[in-house]
Structure 1
Amino acid sequence: MPEKYFEIRWHGRAGQGAKSASQFLTEAAVEAGKYSTAFPEYGAERSGAPMKAFNRIADVPIRIRSGIENPDVVVVFDDTMLGLPDITAGLGEDKIMLVNTVMSPEEVREKTGFKGKIYTIPATDIALEEIKRGIPNTVMIGALVKLTNVVPMEVVKEKVRKTFEKKFSEEVVQANLRAVDRGYQEVKGDA
């Protein structure tokens, strides 16, 4: 019987941070003692072009290297992409869609037709408030951890600290920690 991996597909536009969030989550998973892979998929490589990133996380070595066809979670960084058919492709009704939007889960359901669990968070707005930049990745990671517990929150926060303190001031580190916390606390769902 094949091993079951926890699989995440991220949809965003180049430059929004979906690829970085995917890579960050894999590094946090490894630090939590799990096996994990992250990889992006680009179309036209230009800022603003639609792109995807993927994660596989497991308690056993990951032997598969193909794209993710049936994710456990789809994370959407840009709500203007909600009408695209590949957003919900392969996403079962027992799975989760997490969307960075000011829309309600019901409004997202109307736009996508997805019948599964829909969760929303105004991640870009929170990022602007906390880190003064419209890069929603730390907020989205906080929300994803709340919904899935795929990586323990304390590991994510320690990873934020270690990653950001190498390049940024303590003020920026604290802002990103607050962004993760707010993502965890403020994600809303209809399930």
Structure 2
Amino acid sequence: MKLDVRIHGRGGQGVVTAAELLSVAAFEQGLHAQALPSFGSERTGAPVTASCRISDLPIRSHDPISQPDLLVVQDLTLLRDPVVMAGLPEDGTVVVNTNRDLADLVHGGLVVGPAQRWVTIPANDLSRQLLGRPVPNTALVGAVAGMTDLLSPEAVATAIRRRFAGLGEEIAEANVRLAEQARDLVMTTTAGGDVRC
């Protein structure tokens, strides 16, 4: 078993933190994992990429993920950049932070492979409700857990509590609830099968 996740977002959205949370949650379950940040210009709003490898075997590769099994897109506008979709296989999975549904995105010109699984989730909206500001990373970590059924809710919650412990229990628990809500939403959305167009 292995899962290669590549996360695309903008500075300030917690892209690197999302990769770290996925890897720590994997460690909590006894899996091998690594988080790999990749920075360009390090400023708020600039495109940022991070990756996470998860495996039940030791991980020998330390290079950036060029062919992800799963893409997380934290900012919908990044889908205009062909680099974001580069390397995604025909049967790859994509989780997109947006309150628009997939049919609306396809009508707007998004090209979706016939065997790809796509899920849209309003991570910014959920984050505003629970945190008071649009920081989508923990919601999208919960969504990845729901899409893959690889990481348990308990492992994700432990990773979040550990990461946000210094910010206070209230903030940590709000982020745990955010991840749980997103996970439940994704699992409900995909219960009838793959989300495709």
For normalisation by structure 1, the TM-score amounts to 0.91
Summarize the alignment of residues 1-191 of structure 1 with structure 2, pairs less than 5 Å apart.
Answer: 5-110=2-107, 111-115=109-113, 116-164=116-164, 166-187=165-186, 188=189, 190-191=195-196
Aligned AA (2:33): S
Q: Partners in 1 of 2:106 and 2:64 — Cα distance?
A: 25
Root-mean-square deviation (Å) = 1.6
What SS class does the counterpart of residue 167 from structure 2 fall into?
coil
Q: Partners in 2 of 1:35 and 1:108 — Cα distance?
A: 35
Aligned AA (1:172): I
Shift of 1:92: 1.4
Aligned AA (1:136): P
Q: Alpha carbons of 1:96 and 1:109: their partners in 2 closer, same or farther (altered >3 Å)?
A: farther
Shift of 1:133: 2.1
Shift of 1:174: 2.5
Report if the CA contact (8 A) 1:19-1:52 is conserved.
yes
Shift of 1:184: 0.7
After superposition, the C-alpha distances for 1:43-85 in whole angstroms (9 at most, x for unaligned) are 2222211111001110111001112111110000001111110
Residue correspondences, number: 187
Q: Partners in 2 of 1:12 and 1:19 — Cα distance?
A: 9
For structure 1, the 5+ residue unaligned runs are none
After superposition, the C-alpha distances for 1:73-132 in whole angstroms (9 at most, x for unaligned) are 000000111111012111112110100001111233454312111101000110010111
For normalisation by structure 2, the TM-score amounts to 0.88
What SS class does the counterpart of residue 53 from structure 1 fall into?
strand
Aligned AA (1:125): D
Aligned AA (1:42): F
Q: Structure 1 residue runs of 4+, over 4 Å off? A: none
For structure 2, the 5+ residue unaligned runs are none
Shift of 1:169: 3.4
Report if the CA contact (8 A) 1:5-1:57 is conserved.
yes
Shift of 1:138: 1.0
